[in-house]
Chain A
Amino acid sequence: MTIEAQTRAAPAKLEQKAGGDNSILLDVRNLKKYFPITQGILVQKKVADVKAVDGVTFHVKQGETLGLVGESGCGKSTTGRTILQLYRPTEGQVLFRGKDLAQLKGEELRQMRSDMQMIFQDPYASLNPRMTVGDIVAEPLEVHNIAKGKERKERVQELLRIVGLNPYFINRYPHEFSGGQRQRIGIARSIAVNPDFIVCDEPISALDVSIQAQIINLLEELQEHLGLTYLFIAHDLSVVRHISDRVAVMYLGKIVELTDSRALYANPLHPYTRALLSAVPIPDPIIEEKRERIILVGDVPSPVNPPKGCRFHTRCPLVIPICKEVAPEWRDVGNGHFVECHVV
C-alpha cells in the first residue's frame, strides 16, 4: 500500500499545487521577537529585552523545504514559533499566502491554523501522557470540526497507517511507545488536518541515529505525496542540508546567509557559515585527517546586549574596523544567494 493510495485529500491538493509551482507560500519580512526581562516583585519593571529574533527576512516557496540552522540560542526555534503565531511578533510581517498573520486574531487566526502545523523536538514532552494515541491524533480533527464518529476513527487509523504505525495502537498510551514511534504519532497529529505548511522544530534531535533516518525518510515521503511545505529547524547541518532545498544560517537572532543547499556547501560566503561547515565532522577518517578546521574563539555573546555593528565580529577571523561600527546589510549576491557581511 502506498501512502498516496491511503490519503484522501491528497490528489486535490497536488493538482492545486501543480499550477503555482514557484509561488511564494510564506513571506517573512523584518520579523522581530523580543522577550522582556522584568525586575521587581509587586511592580514589574521592564529592564531589558532578550532580542531572540532581531529582524529576519526570507520566503518559503510552495512545496519546498527551507532549512533553518544555527547553534543553541540563535533564535531558530523562536523564529518558527513566531511564524505560527505561538509567540506574537514584536515587529515585522508574516505573510502566509499574502495574508499577514501578525494582524490576525481570534477566530480568523484559528481558522488559518489548519493550514499550518508544527512537529516538536521532544516526543516525550509533546504528547499528553493521559490521552490515548487515538485521542491525540483526533484532537486537531475535533478542534477544526473535521469528521465525526466512525469517520473520525477511520481517519485516525488511516493517519497511523500513513506514518507507519499499526492502526490497532489507537487505544494505547504514549508511554507504551519508543521515541521514534512517538515522533511518528506527533507527525500523524500534525498532518491530520491536511496542512500546507509544517514547521519541523528539531524533529529528530532526540532520536537515535538508526531511527533518525526512518523519520527523515518519512518526512520526505509525506512531502512528496501530500505536497507539503516545510520549515525544517535543526542544529545538525548535515541533516538540514540533506532534507532542504535551501538553507538559512542563523547567528544571534539574525540570518547571516541563505542559499540553496548545494551552494551552501560548495561556496559558503559568510565566515560564520564557513566555520560552522568546517566544524561538522564527516564520518570518514581519511577526509577527517586532511580537513582544516576553523576553530572559533570564545562563545556566542548574549542576545540581551548583542555586539554593536556586525554581531559576529567578536569571533570573526576576518574582522575589519567597519564591522565593529556598522551592521552589514542583507544583500543578494546573485542567484538568490543572500549574505550579511562587509567582507564578502
Chain B
Amino acid sequence: MNTPADTPPPIADPPIPVSSPLQGSPGPGGTHIQDPATLASARDDERVRRVELIISLVLRIGVVLSLVIVAIGLGITFAHNAGYTSSGRLLHHLISSRASFPHTLGSVASGVGHMNGNAIVVFGLILLILTPVMRVAVSIFTFIYQHDPRFVVITSTVLAVLITSFFLGRAGAG
C-alpha cells in the first residue's frame, strides 16, 4: 500500500511509516543482502495481508454461525408450536403486535436457557449484528500491532459509537 499513484518506485523508496520513523524500527538482524527499506515494506505488506485475511475470516464465520443458530431456532419454534403449521388465525397476531417476542438481553438469555425457539432466533440475530462489531474490534488490535495510533483512535471511535447504539435502543425501549 501507500505507493504514490502512477509513478515508478523512486530509487530509495522511503518506508512509509506505519511505525514512527524516529523510533527507528529495528531492522531485521543479520541479512544485508536486500535493501532494508524494501525488506521492511515487504514485511508491512505481509502484515497488512494477514490483517485482511483475519478480517475476512471473522466476517464469514460470524455470518455462517449466526444463520445456523437462526435456522435451529426457527426449527424449534415450529416444532414447539403445533398451531404455527396449521392455524391461519395466529398470523395476524404474529406480524402486527410488537414486543410479543423476546428482545431484551435478559429475556433472550433466559429463553435460550429454556430452549425457546424465538429466543434462539434472536440470539442468532444478535450474533449476526455483532459480526461487523467484532470486525471493528479486531481491527483496533491490528492497528495497535502496526503502531498506527491515528487509526487506533479512529476505529476505537467507531466501536464506541456502535456500543453506544445498543444502549440507545434499550433506553428507547424502556
Q: Are A and B bound to each other? A: no
